[in-house]
Structure 1
Amino acid sequence: MTLLSIAHLSKSFDGVQAVDDVTFDLEAGQLLALIGPNGAGKSTCFNMINGQLRPTSGAIRLDGHDIVGMRPRDIWRRGVGRTFQIAATFNSMTVLENVQMALLSQERRVYSLFGRVVSWKEDEAMALLDLVGMAGHAQRSCAVLAYGDVKRVELAIALANRPKLLLMDEPTAGMAPQERNALMALTARLAKERNIGVLFTEHSMDVVFSHADRLIVLARGRLIAQGDAETIRNDPRVREVYLGTGASFAPRAVLGTGASS
């Protein structure tokens, strides 16, 4: 079942084409890796899907519904979770309180910030922490956690609104190799068990080729290849612009397009 449908998505900034006519789909329960060199347009795509940027043109449909122009919080409440390249947690709160805060927001009960929330949805928050292997750290401050553990807490927070779609921007950045693969194996398992579509960006190719069901490759804002790991690994254009020499493919002027991103 198609969960996310992106059609002819484009974004320009003062004449610079950051994303140029990108089209792809994501199925429920599937891990789709969005890769490409720095400046390829990956974060811009994420920010358009998440509502932080409005596309210059194109369509974004979630479960068949157009979400272009919606605010990020409204998109989140439609079932879109997100993790960030730099993990975003409240260091002044405990691990448990961080997840409880996400559950409060999901229930539209932000006003409870001014009351006692110590036991509010504690069981549900603990279940999420147990899911990501962090229940034993529930009462610790996020400020003292190892970075890999912070990433697990962030995943629990992203799961608090029972997402249909999970956007993960460099989910393993700053993690050791063993931690990287453990986190993505956990994500893949949850995606299958809960039928969540996962779109993630990642520079670690061992993570991408080990865990992604499909890959799409951007270069200078354009989609240049898509397919399974073997297809992408052997694509000569991908090898040229990303996996191999790192050299650019044909200049945009030759391709008849505008400036690079």
Structure 2
Amino acid sequence: MSLLSVAHLSKSFDGVQAVDDVSFELEPGQLLALIGPNGAGKSTCFNMINGQLAPSSGSVRFDGHEIAGMRPRDIWRLGVGRTFQIAATFNSMTVLENVQMALLSHERRVFSLFGRVASWKEDEAMALLDLVGMSAHARRSCAVLAYGDVKRVELAIALANHPKLLLMDEPTAGMAPQERNELMSLTARLAKERNIGVLFTEHSMDVVFSHADRLIVFARGRLIAQGDADAIRNDPRVREVYLGTGASFAPRAALNAGDAA
């Protein structure tokens, strides 16, 4: 049984079909990239899986549970982590406190006024920060961190509920090339070590083709291709969608050779 199974998923807004009869599956430990041009329906599909939008029709099954139409917090508590295109952290709190808040939320203790919250789950929070390479910054305010470090903190927060599925919306947006690849290499390692399925949207084709195990491609609300990097790179429909050329999908070695020439 697949970890995530999306079947005949559709969403319309005032007669406009944003997502049209989309089906795909994701296995544990696999990185699946969802790509396509602006307006292709990626975010709409992503938000239906996460619970921010209810589908017009279709099914989203996660780990044996039907989650289509469920609230995001209930989906999160089933074991679905989430990161956002614009990193979602509390700048007024320290790095450690941000992760502690996620742990408090997971155990439904956000509104508890009892006990010393400052020391609650500190060891577990530090372990998560160590996992993403941020334990040395635990006492610093998130407001003073470089953006790449904030993204790592957000990943630690997303891991606080011990997810089986991680949804990452444009995880490398706003990051320098080296930071992008470091973050996705870390994500890929954690996915394999912890058997986490990862679904991510991404505009950087270098990131996609370097790290995704499989790709699905959207255009005008429909899934037009899916497969591994070679299959997608050579698919004529995908080349047509991306400005009518295959330049963006050429192997990196070929691109470098062309630059040298």
Global fold match (TM > 0.5): yes
Q: CA deviation at 1:117?
A: 1.1
1:110: which partner in 2? 110
1:253 maps to: none
Measure, in 2, the Cα distance between the counterparts of 1:69 and 1:18: 17
Displacement of 1:158 after TM fit?
Answer: 0.1
Name the counterpart of 2:40: 40
TM-score (norm 1): 0.92
**CA distance in 1: counterparts of 2:188 and 2:90, whole angstroms:** 26
Matched, 1:10 2:10: yes
The answer for the alignment partner of 1:231 in structure 2 is: 231
Structure 2 SS opposite 1:161: coil
User: What letter corresponds to residue 145 of structure 1 in structure 2?
Assistant: L
Assess, with a 3 A threshold, how the Cα gap between structure 1 residues 152 and 18 changes in structure 2: closer, same or farther: same
Output aligned runs, 1:1-261, within 5 Å. 1-112=1-112, 116-242=116-242, 244-245=244-245
Q: Distance in 1 between matches of 2:146 and 2:120?
A: 26
Residue 243 (structure 1) shift? 6.3
Unaligned runs of 5+ residues in structure 1 are: 247-261
More moved, 236-245 vs 148-157: 236-245
Q: Is the 8 A contact 1:104 1:112 kept in 2?
A: no
In the aligned structure 1, how far is the partner of 2:243 from the partner of 2:198?
A: 23
**CA shift for structure 1 position 116:** 3.4
| CA offset digits 1:170-209 (Å, max 9, x no partner) | 0000000000000000000000000000000000000000
Q: Distance in 2 between matches of 1:52 and 1:113?
A: 29
Q: Unaligned stretches of 5+ in structure 2?
A: 247-261
Q: What SS is found at the alignment partner of 1:43?
A: helix
Checking the alignment, whether the CA contact within 8 Å between 1:30 and 1:191 is kept in structure 2 is yes
How has the CA–CA distance of structure 1 residues 183 and 20 changed in structure 2, closer, same or farther, with 3 Å as cutoff?
A: same
Percent identity at matched positions? 90
Answer whether contact 2:48 2:69 (CA < 8 A) is retained: no
Name the aligned partner's letter for residue 54 of structure 1: A
Residue 64 of structure 1 deviates from its aligned partner by 1.7
Q: Distance in 1 between matches of 2:176 and 2:35?
A: 20
State the alpha-carbon separation in 1 of the partners of residues 135 and 207 from structure 2: 25
- 4+ aligned runs moved over 6 Å, structure 1: none
Residue 94 and residue 58 in structure 1: after superposition, are their counterparts in 2 closer, same or farther (change >3 A)? same
Compute the displacement of 1:112 (Å). Answer: 3.0
Superposed displacement of residue 113, structure 1: 5.8
Alpha-carbon distance change, 115 to 243 in structure 1, aligned in 2, over 3 angstroms? farther
Q: Aligned to 2:160, what secondary structure does the other structure show? A: helix
Deviation at 1:30, TM superposition (A): 0.2
Aligned mates of 1:88, 1:191 — CA distance in 2: 21
Q: Which residue of 1 aligns with 2:250?
A: none
The superposition leaves residues 74-98 of structure 1 with CA deviations (integer Å, 9 ceiling, x where unpaired) of 0000000000000000000000000
Q: 1:25 to 1:140 in 2, by over 3 A?
A: same
* Cα shift readout 1:126-180 (whole Å, capped 9, x = no counterpart): 0000000000000000001000000000000000000010000000000000000
Counterpart of 1:215, as a letter, is L
